[in-house]
Structure 1
Amino acid sequence: MNKTITFLIVFSLFYSIGWSQKATPNEKEIEKKVTELLSKMTIEEKIGQMTNIAVTLFEIKGQPGVFDKAKLREAIQKYHVGSLQNIPNSGAPTQMKWREIMTSINNETNKTRLKIPILYGIDAIHGANYTAEGTLFPQEIGLAATFNTAITKKGAQISAYETRASSIPWVFSPDLDLPRSPSWSRIWESFGEDSYLTTQMGLAMVEGFEGNDVGSKYQVGTCLKHFIGYGSTTTGKDRTPSIIPERVLRQYDLPIYEAAIKAGAKSIMVSSGEINGTPVHASKELLTDLLKNELGFKGVVITDWKDIIYLHTRHKVAETNREAVKMAVIAGIDVSMVPDNYTFYDDLLDLVKKGEVPMSRIDDAVSRVLRMKMQLNLFNNNVADPKDYPKFASQEFIDEAYNAASESITLLKNKYNILPLDKSEKILVTGPTANSMKYLNGGWTYNWQGDLSDRFASNKMTILEAIQDKVGKEKVLYTAGTDLEKEDENEIQKAVALAKDASKIVLCLGEKNYTETPGDISSLYISSSQIKLALALSKLGKPIVLVLNEGRPRLISDFEDKMDAIVQCYLPGNEGGRALVDILYGDVNPSGRLPYNYPRYSNSLEKYNRKYTESLGEEEQNDDAKYEKSYNPQFEFGTGLSYTTFTYSNLKIDKLEINDSDSIRVTVDVKNTGTKAGKEAVLLYLTDLYASITPEVKALKRFEKISLMPNETKTVSFVLHPKDLQFVNNELKWVAEKGIFRIQISDLKQEFLLK
């Protein structure tokens, strides 16, 4: 028999997609296999591996989730497509439907010459949110509010388990964007405004998703997004330009990605925006020089939706689509999320054949894709057996989602201790977000914009239903009161009339479900229809509990002073209604803290770690206390009340003077001085009093969530390392300058000298 034919037969058997779970090859074995496989591939097969297509391209019209076999065959046999993503047009498939979808795809790839498996990715950002029965957690902004990395890691582990159970090995998560505008439509997909908090939560999520063996049938590969500077738009709107000095980018944004890359993240999605006039998708400096060379990233760099095409049609830096493809691939793009045609494949093939894109760049990109597929063990197993996932959508997982929601929900105000509510009193529940699952989940839930939640989560409880379940329907009056956007005076008057028979009012306000560009807004104020409802109810003199379901901090300063209690729910997921109501009635003690500053006014949007000159009073002052004169957010980063009280004492540091190689140990005692058990997020801030680059007023450097029984005291210990004292100077170097530093925990402060 011909030796080449013999090799191909053995090779095909070796790489064929099976149903068994074999051990993931080690790094050395993987590199050897990548090299062998790459050497056998044609140019066409290689470019196919760089092509990512949405499965909706193959759907039979009017039959969601059912593929046109000829179109699927064309994608895999003719264009050699290497990866797929998105969901059928009907919304989230069941676990078994996903198995059917992946089996049909496998059947086609098994007919190819080399039998290279498809890499399937999905936006599983708060659970298996694209599987009909999946367990849904709070969105990332809520996870950040827990200040509990263990909860975030556990949620990612469960999400990985259920996503793999759906036969999907790759998630476009976590979102590591650092938003600088509170109006940005993707704030709720992020971990908030602080770089350190985002870094720690991102690490926890990568570790939870990928585990010790990302090739396990219970883990998934991550895709960090969106590299880099995406959340810093000057307009506050999605996919719009940013202006970011490199020094600022390196100090605040880059460490987040660097930590996640060191943790083993397998892929990165590129920012759809531009920085200082250059689209990130076209920046060799950012994608190759910085990401791949300086940070040493060995994984896959993938575009966002249509973003190579947009270099031509939106950014206008490429005169043709062909030029856009050349620009992006040379910049460092490995995979193009095209996603609904084969223009990338055709143009790149032509560019390679004509020598305009070197084969070395193609081989590098394809090697990264093949490496990831082997790391994920796809050549051995990429269709899930339901019997391997007995915990899918289990009560154990639901309880974890409930716990995450419970620790995320943040009590911002509790005048006269109006909360917790008395279960014997009659209340009015009103507001447009009170009786819909859409506003508990937000976008990326069952479909892109999250508008199918009431259908897919019909067995879960809205806020209204959870209150009725808690105290009985006879104690609960309800009317919507108003629409989110449209004003209806009759509805408002109906709410006012019902309120007269209630002892207290639970007013549920917030935002519609949205993500990306559909969530762009022109005003940060909460909608006028909701303001009118709040003001009308406030005239009754009844105690009002304001419940906020929102993805970003919509301004409430027009009526905040008339609310007796305020609870921020963010987007707490399917178990959020139950968790909120348990907090409202005191069965759970709230422990969330704000992961961003909640602004009071639209022209006063300072971050908590602002510079001193961002909050000067009318006259120049030297007294630090007077710098606070114009800094007056509605609620500051880290705000979060409890039904008990915590007292901090004995803040100690083990050194009063250090050199630039010393670490410093910090301890503080925290006592529960109230009558209820509670959880407290202990936050440590650091201030560099004077520096050659204007210092921040304070910056979060450590945090820990603890539980305390009444009268219990715990000593919390932190260690600060030399890196924690550093900033990026004008030479783009991390430096720590000699001088005095201040540590602050709660209202306690200690200073030390860096010699």
Structure 2
Amino acid sequence: MILKKGILFICLSFVTIHWTQAQANEQKIEQLLKKMTLEEKVGQMTQITLDVVGKGEDRFSSFEPLSLDKDSLKKALVDYHIGSVLNTANNRALTPEKWYSIISEIQHVATNDTRLKIPIIYGVDEIHGATYTVGATMFPQQIGQAASRNRDLVRKGAEITAYETRASSIPWNFSPVLDLGLDPRFSRMWESFGEDPYLGAQLGVEMINGYEGINNNIGDPKHVASSLKHFLGYHATVSGKDRTPSYISPEALREYHLPAFKAAVEAGAHTIMINSGIINGVPVHANYDLLTKLLKEELNFKGLIVTDWADIENLHRRDRIAPTDKEAIRLAINAGIDMSMVPYDYETFCDGLIELVKEGAVKMERIDDAVRRVLRVKFALNLFDRPTTHFKDYPDFGSKAFEKAAYDMASESITLLKNSNDILPLSKDKKVLVTGPNANSMRTLNGAWTYSWQGEKTPEYASEYNTILEAIQNEIGDGNVMYSPGVSYIMGGKYYEEKYDQMEATLKLAEEVDVVVLCLGENTYTEKPGDMNDLYMSAYQTELALALAKVGKPIILILNEGRPRVISRFELEMEAIVQTYLPGNFGGDALADILFGDVNPSGKLPYTYPRYPNATISYIHKPSEEQKKAEGVYNYEADYNPQFFFGHGLSYTDFEYSNFTLNKSTFRNGEVIEVSVEVKNKGKVAGKEVVHLFSSDLYASKITPDVKRLRRFEKISLAAGERKTVRFELTADDLKYFDATGKAVIEAGEFELIIGELTQTIELVD
């Protein structure tokens, strides 16, 4: 008991110190605000990209090696009082030493040559590791992390990313992505945690806790400020293409898209980035109801709201709701934007906003609110006392321990989707043909946001790691492995441009081996370059799969893709299917260990894998999507029919569920339902299993309920023959829904709880 009291005292003391420091910072902020001119305030609300102050022919690129232009830097920071810089230069990763040199020079000007000596805040997209730093640890992309269902690994990966980002002198990370990955057509699906709001909320909070620390102490030099993105409903476009219109009802917005952001705000995240698109005809960057009334007032978000790339000027130049750039600035700032990611033409933004304030079109109160939020993050990061962090203070950067964490995440994320006749794991004496465009590529293992925006520069930086081919060669020896690509991506082309590459030779080699490991998927892409018109696996890769199938040797299909490309044209010809997602630099090693039995796969799909391009319904859908064949009348071919279901994922062992019990069958609002189930490993090898608890509202009076929803999950490890009891708790609040007006409803009635194939019925009574 003495120990518990001691721990409690330490925790309370830390909270007290943290609160006291926050109060002291607020006083400093108010003192600074009183000293600041309008021009200095507007400067703090402005963010420019690094190339603007780099030596080069123009603002859009810099000479190599990168160096800063002193005149450009002075104009931006001293004359225009710019408060933030983002991104890398020339779309290229820098070493920790170079980052320190560049950011130190920027901070020196900000803290010595300006009147108020306010440091800049530097931000970068570090979405699966310190992605713009040479030698940093690259984890699986978020979609793979969601497949792992491992909260501890997600948090650990974020802790390492924060550490290595700070080792790069960068204190602000534009991550996590909390958009709901509902649409497999969307080019950024892989940046999300998948299609379930609860899963996204749970893992999003773990990532924030890793970036910021459990107590959000971002002044700790091992932590960074996180930035939730992209608020709100970014992925729900009608066309499935990036930055295009969405139509989202109040019910859907709150039921599906808001939960992860709400949980993240409650977890203390310091900043948030805004959706570049349009909801119900209104660009989100100009939406007062979403940015101010919902985010700042209802959710009580006290942090910094930053735009996405050039999205204020897009209100004028793309979305056409503002006849001038100046009017676009007025709309965005009055809607609630605190900082504009300009990123190039900062004069237009600064001059325009200053004029708007002088004209009374933007109130000084709105400017002061925005600047408070900017300064609040800068003080919380301790930038006034320590504007840079030094790479020499981070001895674990790129360490073996960090690499092991990345490997572990990759090995737990990779998902076994099909294993006919238990062909996997393979014997290590098999002769194997490794083929396909993704077989010998570090670029495709990582995806975009890796050393460069589209990931095309990955081969320059990742040659020390193993491709799938190299990992298999290391696993079973070069003598047992043959390689021929069959199909290749066109170097320098867009992600979908392909060519035949030794196709005939590939088919001949297939005749000489015991098994074919066929590595298909996508080249790297994100944002608009990743928009597509056909969800089927490409024609070239489909032809390769069908041609290999005619040879008659068993084929292990390896999927290395950012979204589920439709494979129904050849799926039946594949003996086994393994989904790797975008597993990072250690994905090849993890995959080889799974293929040959050193690791038992445990990943579970974070999305629904569609069977056809016109059947992209997520597992969260209404009963009308499941209208079965009417007796003797119609055959509903387009019934809900995915290739693989959300949560699907096989193992090399078998798990049995039993003793599904509840502490009560009826309950009232405010009471707790205790749920337990026993899980047994019936097989001969150890394995990890994810236990999912779903609920189904049998009838709802306001709207049609979803067929089922994920409410809890837990990943457990079981030795061969071992049993464990998994316990969950639910309340009525977990079973609420939102009506057509967006109002939360907790309604009496019956609910079905589902774990595996077991069900129990409970009743909520008035």
Q: Which category of TM-score, normalised to the shorter sequence, fits these structures?
A: over 0.9
CA deviation map 1:624-682 (0-9, x unaligned): xx999822100000000000111100000110111122110000000000011111111
Inter-partner Cα distance in structure 1 for 2:522 and 2:408: 24
Q: Which aligned pairs between 1:119-268 and structure 2 lie closer than 5 A? A: 119-211=121-213, 212=215, 213-268=217-272
CA distance in 2 between partners of 1:184 and 1:415 (Å): 31
The residue type paired with residue 512 of structure 2 is D
SS in 2 for 1:482: strand
Which sits farther off after the overlay, 667-676 or 345-354? 345-354
Work out whether 1:394 is the aligned partner of 2:403.
no
Residues of 1 paired with 2:304 and 2:377: CA distance?
7
Aligned to 2:485: 480
2:748 corresponds, among 730, 738, 742, to 738
Say whether the 8 Å CA contact 1:616–1:629 is kept in structure 2. no
Query: Any unmatched runs of 5+ in structure 1?
Result: 1-21
Instruction: Find 1:656's aligned residue among 660, 665, 684.
Output: 665
Match of 2:30, as an amino acid?
A: T
Q: What is the aligned-residue RMSD (CA, Å)?
A: 1.5
Q: What CA deviation, in whole Å up to 9, does each residue of 1:678-722 have, x standing for no partner? A: 111110000010112111111000000000000000000000112
Figure out how many residues of one structure are paired with residues of the other and give that number: 730
Say whether the 8 Å CA contact 1:492–1:536 is kept in structure 2: no
> What residue identity is the alignment partner of 1:98?
W
Paired residue for 2:465, among 460, 477, 501?
A: 460
**Contact 1:24–1:215 under 8 Å retained in 2:** no
Pair 1:712-2:722 in alignment: yes
In structure 1, C-alpha distance between the alignment counterparts of 2:543 and 2:521, rounded to whole Å: 13
Q: Partners of 2:286 and 2:172 in 1: how far apart?
A: 25
Gap change, CA 1:533 and 1:64, over 3 Å in 2: same
Q: Provide closer, same or farther for how the CA distance between residues 137 and 44 of structure 1 changes in structure 2, counting only shifts above 3 A.
A: same
Structure-2 residue corresponding to 1:723? 733
TM-score (ref. length: structure 1): 0.95
Amino acid corresponding to residue 663 of structure 1 in structure 2: V
**Alpha-carbon separation, structure 1, partners of 2:387 and 2:55:** 24
1:583 to 570, 591, 594: 594
Q: Check whether the contact 2:162–2:223 (CA below 8 A) recurs between aligned residues.
A: yes
- In the aligned structure 1, how far is the partner of 2:497 from the partner of 2:218? 48
- Which residue does the alignment assign to 1:382? 387
1:102: Cα distance to partner? 1.0
Match in the other structure for 1:537: 548
- Is contact 1:24-1:374 (8 Å) kept? no
Letter in 2 for 1:88: A
Distance in 2, Cα, partners of 1:245 & 1:563: 41
Task: Work out whether residues 169 and 391 of structure 2, in 8 Å CA contact, stay in contact via their aligned partners in 1.
Answer: no
One-letter identity of the residue aligned with 2:31: E
Which residue is equivalent to 1:3? none
Structure 2 CA distance, aligned partners of 1:65 and 1:680? 49
What residue number does 2:107 align with? 106
% identical equivalent positions: 54
Alpha-carbon distance, 1:240 to partner: 0.3
Confirm or deny: 8 A CA contact 2:168 2:390 kept in the other structure: no
Determine if the alignment matches structure 1 residue 48 to structure 2 residue 48: no
Q: Does 1:88 align with 2:98?
A: no
Equivalents in 2 of 1:151, 1:472: separation in Å? 31
Kindly report which structure 2 residues correspond to 1:306-317, keeping only aligned pairs within 5 A, or say none. 306-317=310-321
What is the rounded CA distance, in whole Å, between the counterparts of 1:627 and 1:40 in structure 2?
A: 70
Q: 2:610 maps to what in 1?
A: 599
Note the residue ranges of structure 2 that are not aligned, 5 or more in a row.
Answer: 1-16, 57-62, 490-495
Residues 572-651 of structure 1 correspond to what in structure 2 (within 5 A)? 572-619=583-630, 630-651=639-660
Name the CA distance, whole Å, in 2 between partners of 1:223 and 1:577. Answer: 30
Query: Residue 153 of structure 1 aligns to which amino acid in structure 2?
Result: R
**Aligned partner of 2:289: which letter?**
E
TM-score by length of 2: 0.94
Moved over 3 A (4+): 22-25, 484-490, 626-629
Question: Are residues 80 and 671 of structure 1, via their aligned partners in 2, closer, same or farther at CA, if it must alter by over 3 Å?
Answer: same
- Give the Å deviation of 1:736: 2.0
Paired residue type of 2:180: L
1: CA distance between counterparts of 2:717 and 2:538? 38
Describe the superposition over 1:379-434 as per-residue Cα deviations: whole angstroms up to 9, x where unpaired: 11132223321111100000000000000000000001111111111100000001
State whether residues 182 and 607 of structure 2, in contact with CA within 8 Å, keep that contact through their aligned partners in structure 1.
no
Q: Is 1:352 paired with 2:362?
A: no
Residue 703 of structure 1 aligns with which residue? 713
CA contact (8 A) 1:174 1:222 kept: yes
Distance of 2:519 and 2:757 partners within structure 1: 33
**Contact 1:421/1:584 (8 A) holds in 2:** yes
Bigger mean CA offset, 162-171 vs 176-185:
176-185
Q: Name the SS of the counterpart of 2:486 in structure 1.
A: coil
Distance across 2 between alignment mates of 1:321 and 1:580: 50
Residue 747 in structure 1 maps to residue 757 in structure 2: yes
The answer to whether residue 80 in structure 2 is matched with residue 79 in structure 1 is yes
Q: Deviations over 1:420-455 (max 9, x none)?
A: 111111100000001111100001010100111111
Counterpart-to-counterpart distance in 1, 2:103 and 2:759: 57
Contact 1:415 1:564 in 2 (8 A): yes
Distance 1:90 1:365, change over 3 A: closer
